[in-house]
């Protein structure tokens, strides 16, 4: 992404020796997987599948040949709260409830493999079961390699593993593809032309409701399912992925313009989600507006962009249980 490229450029410019960057965020390197922005998962999937066995192999490790044992880190980390208080960040958002670091990441992975992987394909979309891997933040901050996850999962073949590899490699790396090849990945202009056209054709449609930024932030809308999703995110730094899709679709429905909806989604997501500012975050927001999707039946406000409804949630899930868990 733009800021990561800038960091690397700044470091390289400050050094008098060569700097080699190793792409470790993806299993299959982005430019190896495809030389262009892909339209959807279905166009990237066969390219990834042709290559991934070449990259799904354990990496060699070895000790450093040259150590810098007397390096001064500048600031200690014995008191992380005090250190965070001095940083120019949003101090109104807490650190969440997850423990960071490689050890915690590997422990979470081991627990997921042992107890949840076999049912991942059946339970990951149900917000009342919490069947997701809960590895996203560890992947985002580099505490865990996607290769480590993929190799561990492959030791237990089955439909759960197939579903995990689809999400971890194909879908996640589709997000990398978009952020690498589209300079507007974090802007409304990055939404596909067809989607922006139909949304703007319906920009004057009456909105069923509109809310202030404060009401949205506090989860005080007329939709109990949306409120529960927002409160889950604020309290835990995570929102179930299926509910994140619904959460975004309702923000589009409630916003004066699709551009405003895009900005509101990014602001809330990046403020509260532990994996905010990730490639998946930017793509998830733009997916709400039509990215990596196709035209559907026409609806008010949405045009031919896919819509989602509260009745659809009720048909699929025990939404009263979800509201009871997070709505209060």
What does the pLDDT look like over 152-197, one tens digit per residue?
999 999 999 999 999 999 999 999 999 999 999 999 999 999 999 9
Percentage of the chain surpassing pLDDT 90?
A: 85
- What mean pLDDT is reported for the chain? 95
Domain 188-326 is of which CATH architecture? Orthogonal Bundle (1.10)
Q: Quick one: pLDDT at residue 269?
A: 97
Q: Quick one: pLDDT at residue 11?
A: 95
Backbone angles phi, psi at 191, to 5 degrees: -65, 140
First to last CA, the chain: 37
Alpha-carbon distance values, 64 to 16, 59, 103, 280 (Å) = 21, 15, 21, 33
Asked whether residue 108 carries a pLDDT value surpassing 80, the answer given is yes
- Can you read off the two tokens belonging to residue 98? 């997850």
Task: Give the span between the Cα atoms of 43 and 50, in whole angstroms.
Answer: 12
Q: Which residue has the tokens 């949306």?
A: 226
Percentage of the chain surpassing pLDDT 70?
A: 99
Tell whether pTM > 0.85.
Answer: yes
Task: Give the span between the Cα atoms of 133 and 30, in whole angstroms.
Answer: 23
Q: Quick one: pLDDT at residue 77?
A: 74
Q: Residue 328 — very low, low, confident or very high, per pLDDT cuts 50/70/90? A: low
The segment(s) of the chain belonging to CATH 1.25.40.80 are 2-58+99-181
Residue 155 CA to chain centroid, in angstroms?
Answer: 25
Task: Give the span between the Cα atoms of 169 and 42, in whole angstroms.
Answer: 13
The segment(s) of the chain belonging to CATH 1.10.579.10 are 188-326
Asked whether residue 91 carries a pLDDT value surpassing 70, the answer given is yes
Please, are residues 305 and 289 in contact by the beta-carbon 8 Å criterion? yes
Q: Which CATH class is domain 2-58+99-181?
A: mainly alpha
């Amino acid at each position: 992404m733009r800021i990561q490229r800038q960091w690397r450029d700044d470091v390289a410019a400050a050094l008098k020796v060569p700097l080699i960057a190793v792409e470790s965020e993806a299993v299959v390197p982005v430019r190896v997987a495809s030389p262009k922005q892909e339209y959807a998962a279905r166009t990237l999937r066969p390219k990834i599948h042709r290559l991934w066995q070449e990259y799904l192999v354990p990496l060699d490790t070895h000790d450093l040949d040259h150590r810098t044992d007397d390096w001064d880190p500048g600031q200690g980390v014995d008191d992380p709260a005090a250190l965070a208080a001095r940083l120019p960040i949003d101090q109104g958002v807490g650190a969440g409830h997850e423990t960071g670091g490689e050890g915690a990441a590997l422990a979470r992975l081991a627990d997921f493999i042992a107890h949840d992987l076999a049912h991942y394909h059946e339970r990951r979309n149900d917000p009342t079961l919490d069947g997701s891997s809960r590895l996203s933040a560890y992947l985002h901050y580099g505490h865990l390699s996607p290769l480590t996850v993929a190799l561990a999962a492959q030791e237990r073949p089955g439909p759960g593993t197939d579903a995990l590899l689809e999400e971890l490699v194909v879908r996640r790396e589709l997000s990398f593809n978009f952020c690498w090849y589209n300079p507007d990945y974090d802007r409304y202009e990055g939404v596909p032309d067809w989607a922006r056209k139909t949304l703007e054709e319906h920009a004057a449609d009456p909105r069923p409701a509109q809310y202030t930024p404060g009401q949205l932030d506090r989860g005080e809308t007329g939709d109990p399912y949306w409120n529960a999703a927002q409160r889950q995110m604020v309290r835990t730094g995570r929102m179930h992925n299926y509910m994140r899709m619904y959460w975004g679709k309702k923000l589009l429905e409630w916003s004066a313009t699709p551009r405003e909806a895009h900005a509101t989604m990014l602001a809330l997501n990046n403020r509260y989600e532990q994996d905010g500012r990730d490639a998946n975050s930017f793509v998830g927001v733009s997916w709400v507006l039509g990215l990596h999707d196709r035209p559907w039946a026409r609806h008010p406000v949405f045009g031919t962009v896919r819509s989602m409804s509260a009745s659809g949630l009720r048909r699929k899930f025990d939404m009263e249980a979800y509201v009871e868990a997070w709505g209060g």
